[in-house]
Structure 1
């Protein structure tokens, strides 16, 4: 026993001496690249497995809206009644709302932070909401006290709104002038047969109160989009009798606002895979297209469990439609409205076909489309999405029209179904949608139009740009030239690499679809996505989230050498970048046969060089790293080795 103790002591002394001698030569490892990078623990509201927790909650807002469009003054006037339900575990002393039309004023924060030379998010400055008869009624009383700050409105309650089910009814009258330039999200366009009104951000709406930051009150500046509560909408829109009105939701009074012929055409379209005209090109601007020839008409729409509604009106609309097959025996109606200027088989005459194919693909592939209608509106908006309605450029044709239509309707999944916070995390809607667009484009007419996303290697020029910004850059802070990469292309490329290279299609698809199912009509945060993908796929991906989504480093793997070793080969590879990745190698023999080698990402935990013993009795002619060109590797010059 004494000998054993003495042996241990001598051993420890030897090790200690060794450590002392080599302390200054200690080799650092790469473990920090693999460690968790944010607070990702679960709680009763959001689980560590990335699901809504057993006590997850979110508040709700139901809207009754009655408005009138005046096409002489280009104004919208109306009244909103909001039934707001506080499902949170805390009482609320006030309710925050958004007044996003206030962005279109001289002194709005958005106007004052727009560059002098302008950008995509230019907007008119002679608008803004006018409000009257504001009230907040609870079971204890009514309050009319409120405070407006830029694009936010704070309504104070007579008594705190009780937790876990307390209700308040908010009412107010409002009106605003429809901007011509509505920050490329709404506006009005003059055409030969009349003005097209594309109406969005058009009513005072409740801000989200959640378990992460409480009230989400970031101002509406420009690039940052929206974060909305879910609820039911009852919408009545009064417009001139010669105008056609389309809106998110289902038309409740077709017999009052459509001609008998139009009603019959709708019935035909509901059963047709081919596009059917509701209003033909030669009927635009004639009495035959109107249910009434003078005065006004009120169009009534309803939509359930949605986060928003948008609408459009014009006397210039050609209108067509076709059936959508949404699975499980459910059908819907793809529709398009557009002016004579946009007519043609290379242009908007194919819009309904594009809409139908896009919605059907996503419905079958990811999650059933929940709405009856999908309506594409030709407007002076480059491309903007709302539940069941998209605004796309009236000048778009061919591949451009397919691309913008497919992208905007893809947004019905992100963020309309999966209700992420676009204002803080644009990559969770723009990036996800750009990613799924790649697969829908491949499927449409056997790839009639090439995917705009393309290979991750197409990003290399941006990834090596010294003014690049990370995915986590706020959309209102990102340089306008970089926003397309930070919000759209880089996150899409990240998901593409995750599916095609890191996890494989089956593991990725299982996790991605599960994420959509668990967070449909809820409010996920980035950590919920990260946690859920890891738990379902069974893979710790911290190195990837940290490096690609929350860092500005790059991927640079290379083949250092291929050497003979004990009748076999040593394949030595190096990681010269900041993001470790699994390694895929293609070994090509002198007899032209090939063999694949896959090495896990963990080879980089100890350092940036790794030698793999490759056993073979053949002679290697060539070794290629990432043979399918799936990685956004910034240096392709070290991706292959050739036998001297």
Structure 2
């Protein structure tokens, strides 16, 4: 309804002094919720002038037993104590023990019996009796003396012969072995093997395969939290020299640079490898599918040793199989060439030969542009019906049907997982956060980067995570199933939405809606460059984003990272006003019409006929001044007051009075609890539209309800709150004026089982081939 603003002599807005102050703590600074800055980590979020971190160099010799699916290894570790502290012992991670028969992982998991149970559910209850944990044969000094160790599930304490002083290094050796497990079984996990029954071959993905040094840091001391399967890794940087002995017909892909290609590659493969080093537009196939298929038919009895070196990495992983096709291409990055490579079995073609290495190259370029130049010499993608990342190498999924056709879901799923896992080289392989504690610092940041890289790959890329509206169903779910993003990895119920999707969405909202791309991109790159090859904490990220942008974001961190409230802002009411610039005669005439309308009701209509004459009409003595007074006639006093008022107005005030502006008073209610900016689209009667953006700080004094007045030259036909779905609003039905009702929708899908990321059943490509 349009209302008329009665123009006062004084053009001023007066706020009631008694307005209620209705707010909690959403706009208070985080303060003591964050660790205090110190000489190691500054209040700006940058490393301090006394920042330090440990280093652990490794020399490893490992041999793969393809007959018995086991490995044995020996390693020399040189541990550098760069901390100011004296250390009496070291902690080492034995992650393979998570799969041991006496593992605590299945004991921690809930279980129940349902009326219908499948075999995998029962196997998870029974667990297993396979001997899969580490066998630590010895831990010795370089002089050959035994070192006392204590194994506590997945952690091993090495009691030093004498305290390790600040600035000193300690060398020791570890001899170990373990049986490799079938990662396609109910045990699952990141490393292991996959057996291909049709050709009788194995594909090994060896990760978490050697005893790895835990992190000792300024903010936590030893990160020796047990590995129980989900929370990933906190690892120490170092240099690696690794010798990998495998069957002679195997192809090995690995972290690092191959040191002896002449010894392990054929002359033809060497020639193709050299071609790949100067191929910048497309991959060169170094070992072809036909060559791999020939190797699948026999098993070599002799062995070859592949030698790899990797500098300044936090971990080391490798893969081995005679099934591998191998292709590579060069990527110019930061004044050097990076080799993008893929290893995959025939089961991955034609998808992998067409896409994998090209996606690796794209990811390296996309992430480098937004953070820092990719510093490593290689980036590898391995098809392993998996999704897991390590420095320079990652294991991914995506297989077509046996006839080579596939669904678009399989294609885009494969591209997405490659982008994601290659992208992990940046977070956390280089920006080395503690995954065991804060999954979002690697998964969330990386998923955000993945979203941008996906959109650069294909204009209409069907990204699952990143757009704000796609996180709304999670945020609207049962509050008892929600935890803040700032929750330990093992304590999260809905892990994917919490650790991946919600932080990625939050960052996308920061970039697109709260900060803007220019400020966000500068600050995000600053964070990445400050903390590359270092160990950042959440505080370092929060502080750097504010420090480099000049934007106070504490309210945003509170809501999105420390809270579980959803976004649900309702456009509760809209009042339409116009300035009253009418003459006295026009005002009186309008008042008369309003009065007659107000006094027009059914009883009066009937009484005109049923009451022939009232008392006042029949008896003159009952009449007085007001019976003949006409309040709607214009008096000389009315005309004089109007002239005097107009004479007192300045030219600017007269311009405003005659502007014809429409004033829209809008009331917003915060139904969800999470404060967010107001993005308002005005749709005008002439068919045009306009968007106004109001910062979240409008909620500072009242976090439940606010009002805002907008002056518009044009008449508004309708209003939409959050028209571009930027804020993750869980109830869009209350975002319209006038109210617009839209049907809710649901999807029907059929669940499938099988190799992760594999295409199965009918698909449009298969149907097209039948025509």
TM-score for both structures, normalised by structure 1: 0.90
Match of 1:95 among 90, 109, 119: 90
Asked if the contact 1:147–1:153 (Cα under 8 Å) also holds between the matched residues in 2, the reply is yes
**2:292: which partner in 1?**
284
Q: Which residue of 2 aligns with 1:341?
A: 347
Secondary structure at the aligned position of 1:458 is classed as: helix
| Equivalent in the alignment of 2:283 | 275
Aligned to 1:592: 687
- Residue 427 of structure 2 aligns to a residue whose secondary structure is helix
Residue 264 of structure 2: aligned partner = 257
2:158 corresponds to 1:155: yes
Runs of 4+ in 1 over 4 A off after TM superposition: 122-125, 287-290
Matched, 1:135 2:140: yes
CA-based RMSD of the aligned residues comes to 2.5
Instruction: After TM superposition, give the deviation of residue 360 of structure 1 in Å.
Output: 2.1
Q: Give the CA deviation at 1:518.
A: 0.1
Q: Once the 2 structures are TM-superposed, how far is the Cα of residue 46 of structure 1 from its aligned partner?
A: 0.6
After superposition, give the CA deviation of every residue in 1:286-326 in whole Å (9 maximum; x if it has no partner). 47999x96511110000111100100111111111122222
1:96-111 paired onto structure 2 within 5 Å = 96-111=91-106
Partner-residue secondary structure (3-state), 1:497: helix
Q: Which of 391, 395, 400 is the matching residue for 2:399? A: 395
Classify 1:529/1:215 alpha carbon distance in 2 versus 1 (closer, same or farther; 3 Å): same
Where does structure 1 lack aligned partners over 5 or more consecutive residues?
1-18
Q: Deviation string for 1:38-77 (max 9, x for gaps)?
A: 1243111111110111111111111111111111111111
Tell me, yes or no, if structure 1 residue 444 matches structure 2 residue 457: yes
Verify: 1:552 aligned to 2:564, yes or no: yes
2:78 corresponds to 1:83 = yes
Q: Tell me the residue number matched to 1:3.
A: none
Structure 1 segment 286-305 matched on structure 2, within 5 A:
286=294, 295-305=302-312
Alignment counterpart, residue 376 of structure 2, candidates 371, 380, 384:
371
1:412 aligns with 2:425: yes
Call closer, same or farther: CA 1:296–1:545 in 2, change over 3 Å: same
Q: Which residue of 1 aligns with 2:697?
A: 602
The verdict on how the C-alpha distance between 1:365 and 1:193 changes in structure 2, with shifts beyond 3 A counting, is farther
Could you give the per-residue CA deviations for residues 547-598 of structure 1, whole angstroms, max 9, x where no partner exists? 1111111111122222234522322222222111122212222222333322
State the secondary structure of the residue aligned to 1:615: strand
Deviates more, 1:432-441 or 1:178-187: 178-187
Q: How big is the shift at 1:193?
A: 5.8
Q: Deviations over 1:243-286 (max 9, x none)?
A: 11111000000011111110110111111121211111111154
2:252 matches 1:245: yes
Asked whether 1:52 is paired with 2:47, we answer yes
Q: Which residue of 2 aligns with 1:626?
A: 722
Residues 310 and 596 (structure 1), Cα distance of their counterparts in 2 relative to 1, 3 Å cut: same
Cα 1:43–1:454 change in 2 (3 A) is closer
The aligned counterpart of 2:336 is 330
Give 1:132 deviation, angstroms. Answer: 2.1
Distance 2:491 2:709 in 1: 48
Contact 2:78 2:169 in 1 (8 A): yes
8 Å contact 2:568–2:672 — kept in the other structure?
yes
Alpha-carbon distance, 1:405 to partner: 0.8
**C-alpha distance 431-107 of structure 1, shift in aligned 2 (>3 A):** same
Query: What is residue 206 of structure 1 aligned with on the other side?
Result: 213
2:518 pairs with 1:518: no
Does the C-alpha gap of structure 1 residues 569 and 285 become closer, same or farther in structure 2, counting only changes over 3 Å?
closer
Question: Aligned with 1:108: secondary structure?
Answer: coil
Q: Does 1:173 align with 2:175?
A: yes
Mapped to 1, the partners of 2:97 and 2:253 lie a distance apart of 24
Distance 1:115 1:30, change over 3 A: closer
2: CA distance between counterparts of 1:643 and 1:578? 22
Distance in 1, matches of 2:675 and 2:726, equals 15
Residues 96 and 153 of structure 1 are in contact (CA less than 8 Å); yes or no, is this contact kept in structure 2? yes
Question: Is the contact between residue 123 and residue 179 of structure 1 (CA under 8 Å) also seen in structure 2?
Answer: no
Q: Paired residue for 1:576? A: 671
Q: Provide the rounded CA distance (Å) in 2 between the counterparts of 1:545 and 1:494.
A: 9
Q: In structure 2, list runs of 5 or more residues that go unmatched.
A: 1-16, 112-120, 401-409, 580-662, 741-771
How far off is 1:454 after superposition?
A: 4.8
> Could you tell me whether the CA contact under 8 Å between 1:136 and 1:157 is conserved in 2?
no
For 2:363, the equivalent position in structure 1 comes to 358
Kept after mapping to 2: 8 A contact 1:124/1:179:
no
Structure 1 residue 534 corresponds to structure 2 residue 630: no
Q: Are 2:500 and 1:494 equivalent residues in the alignment?
A: no
What SS is found at the alignment partner of 2:526?
Answer: helix
- 1:36 aligned to 30, 40, 44, which one? 30
- Aligned residue in 2 for 1:14: none
Paired residue total: 611
Of 491, 504, 510, the match for 1:477 = 491
Residue pair 1:83, 1:168 contacting (<8 A) in 2 also: yes
Distance 2:417 2:48 in 1: 36
Larger Rg: 2
Partner of residue 68 from structure 1, selected from 63, 66, 80: 63
Task: Give 1:455 deviation, angstroms.
Answer: 2.4
Is the contact between residue 236 and residue 299 of structure 1 (CA under 8 Å) also seen in structure 2? yes
Is the 2:41–2:51 contact (alpha carbons within 8 Å) kept by the matching residues of 1?
yes
Contact 1:251 1:301 (C-alpha < 8 Å) held by counterparts: yes
Matched residues in 1 for 2:253 and 2:190: separation?
Answer: 16
Whether the aligned pair in 1 keeps the contact of 2:380 and 2:422 (CA below 8 Å) is no
SS in 2 for 1:391: strand
2:437 matched to which residue of 1? 424
CA contact (8 A) 2:466 2:504 kept: no
State the distance in 1 between where 2:110 and 2:241 align.
39
Measured in 1, the distance between the counterparts of 2:297 and 2:46 equals 50
CA distance in 1, matches of 2:277, 2:501: 36
Comparing 48-57 and 270-279, the one that deviates more: 270-279
Judge which range, 176-185 or 27-36, deviates more: 27-36
Contact 1:137 1:143 in 2 (8 A): no
